[in-house]
Structure formats: C-alpha cells, structure tokens
Amino acid sequence: MPGSDGILAIGIVGCAGRMGRMLTKIVTESKDVTLVGGTERPGAEPVSNDLGTLAGLSPLGVACTDDPDALFAKADAVLDFTAPVASLAHARLAAKHRKIHVIGTTGMNADDVAALQRSASEAVIVMAPNMSLGVNLLLALVERAARALGEGWDIEIVEMHHRMKVDAPSGTALGLGRAAARGRGVELDEVAVKTRDGVTGARPDGRIGFATLRGGDVVGEHRVIIAAAGERIELGHIATDRAIFARGAVRAALWARGRSPGLYSMKDVLGL
C-alpha cells in the first residue's frame, strides 16, 4: 500500500515536460518519497512510456498514463508543473480524493486563484510560482527593502528565461513585484508597468516596472533594482539548475503531510 510505511507516494502530472522529467529524477533520488505514477495529456506521445525512460534514466516500471483521476486516487501527493487550465482541473481531483497537491504552474489569474481556493477547502494545496529556497528568501528581502526605502526609490524588476517560456512577466517576477508592493502598502495591479514603448514621458513616482528577456536555455534569472538619486541597490537570484524547483516541490509535499486543507505557499513550507 503506497504511503503506509511512512514513505509518501508521489504522482507527477505533466511528467514528460521539462519540470516533469526533473521531478522524476529528484523523486527517485529522495528517500522519503516513492514514485507511483505520472500523466500527460490524452493522446500525447509520451503516454504509456516509462517515466524513467522519459526522464533519461533507467526504466522505473512506472508508466505515463492519461488518467489523472486514477493517479490522484493512488498517490498521497501530486506534483504539478503543467498549465493553468490543467492545474485547476487537477486541484478539483485533489479535492475529490482529499490529497496533497503541489502546484508550480505559473500564469494563473485572480479567477484561477479563487477557483484553487475553493478546491483548497478539501485538499492541501501548496502553490508557489517559484519553489526555490533562494527566491523565497529574496521575496522576503525585497518586501523589507521596499518598506524601508519608501516611494522616493524607483523599483524595477528584470527577468530572463529560456525561449520556450509561454508567460510574461514570469510568475516569480510578479511575485517579487507583489512583495515590493506589500512593503509599500499598495496593490501591485495599481502601480505595475509591464511594458514601455515609444515616448513614455518621465517615470512617475511609485511605479513598479518590469522588463522581460527571453532567450536560449536560461533556467531563470531575476533582479530587483531599487534606484534613487546617486545610489542603487540590486537584489537578485540566478537559477542554474531546475533541480532546485523539484527539490522544493518534494519538500512542500512532505511538509503538507497531515496538514489541514487550505491553500499554502512556500513561505509557509520554509517558515519564512
């Protein structure tokens, strides 16, 4: 019986994706968890392939299916780095089976988060646009810096990711923007500037600006620049290996064991 020996039974939805394959690797390397299955979209090529083979490892005897309902039934926790629509459907399954759901998917809007909140009344959901310890510490530092420095300082957030990324600015960049806005006691939506083009005029006070770079195979880089007349502070994070996100997701699943239903973040998991 998966999970009965204290080992957490893990399922991976989107197991053939960049993060899905990394999750397979990290889950099989971790002693406190065991891999019980994975899914891909119905009709997708990886379906019925071995998860180990998909991840470039030796076969694990665990096949990729297109049946997330069965996966949520047999896993204790499901790790999900897919797409917003898919993650919302998975969260409903987590609620149905009362399981742990760790969501790394980015690009969710406010309605999506409200739908997740509803599922979280019956499932333990941990969601974070960035599962790394370093970025979650950076979020705390940025909030503190923004609070200390006030509106006379201009905040700009620069991020770069690989050319296949589909959402912009990155979920992490937006999270950093929200942290800065919280520090200032404002709503990010009211002060964010996500694009600039042409004759923009001078920079208004109090705005939080974003610049998005895409190219190559960059795993993820974020820099928060806080600039005033005559001086500038830069706080940043560079991810060089997707393993940090996968390790964070496994840590979140282990942390979630035995918790009451609810929507949690990596801040909760890491106790920051």
- For residue 130, the minimal CB distance to ligand NAD (Å) is 4
Cβ pair 31, 8 in contact under 8 A:
no
For residue 234, give the amino acid letter: E
Q: Does 44 bind ligand NAD (CB under 6 A)?
A: yes
Residue nearest to ligand NAD (CB): 17
Report in angstroms how near the CB of residue 262 gets to ligand NAD at its nearest.
19
Q: Which residue is listed with tokens 């509106």?
A: 151
What's the closest the beta carbon of residue 246 comes to ligand NAD, in angstroms? 8
The question of whether 161 is a catalytic residue gets the answer: yes
> Residues 25, 74, 96, 165: which is the catalytic one?
165
Would you tell me how many other CB atoms lie within 10 Å of the CB of residue 5? 8
Sites for ligand NAD among residues 167-226 (CB under 6 A): 171
Read out DSSP for the chain? -TTTTSPEEEEEETTTSHHHHHHHHHHHH-TTEEEEEEE--TT-TTTTSBHHHHTTSS--S-BEES-HHHHHHH-SEEEE-S-HHHHHHHHHHHHHHT-EEEE------HHHHHHHHHHTTTSEEEE-S---HHHHHHHHHHHHHHHHH-TTSEEEEEEEE-TT--SSS-HHHHHHHHHHHHHHTS-HHHHEE----S---SPPTT-EEEEEEE-TT--EEEEEEEEETTEEEEEEEEE--THHHHHHHHHHHHHHTTPPSEEE-HHHHHT-
194 is annotated as an active-site residue: no
Contact residue for ligand NAD among 17, 206, 261, 262 (CB under 6 A): 17
For ligand NAD, which stretch binds (CB under 6 A), given 49-57, 75-83, 113-121, 201-209? 75-83
Which one among 57, 63, 70, 83 touches ligand NAD, defined by CB under 6 A? 83
Binding segment toward ligand NAD, per CB under 6 A, in 15-23, 117-125, 194-202, 250-258: 15-23
User: Interaction with ligand NAD in 24-43: which residues (CB under 6 A)?
Assistant: 39-41
* Interface with ligand NAD (CB under 6 A), residue from 12, 54, 81, 168: 81
The one catalytic residue in 161, 162, 222, 237 is 161
Q: Please, what is the minimum distance in Å from the beta carbon of residue 83 to ligand NAD?
A: 5
**What amino acid occupies position 202?**
A
- In angstroms, what is the minimal distance from the CB of 104 to ligand NAD? 3
* Enzyme catalytic residues: 161, 165
Q: What residue ranges bind ligand NAD (CB under 6 A)?
A: 13-14, 16-20, 39-41, 44, 81-83, 86, 104-107, 128-131, 171, 245
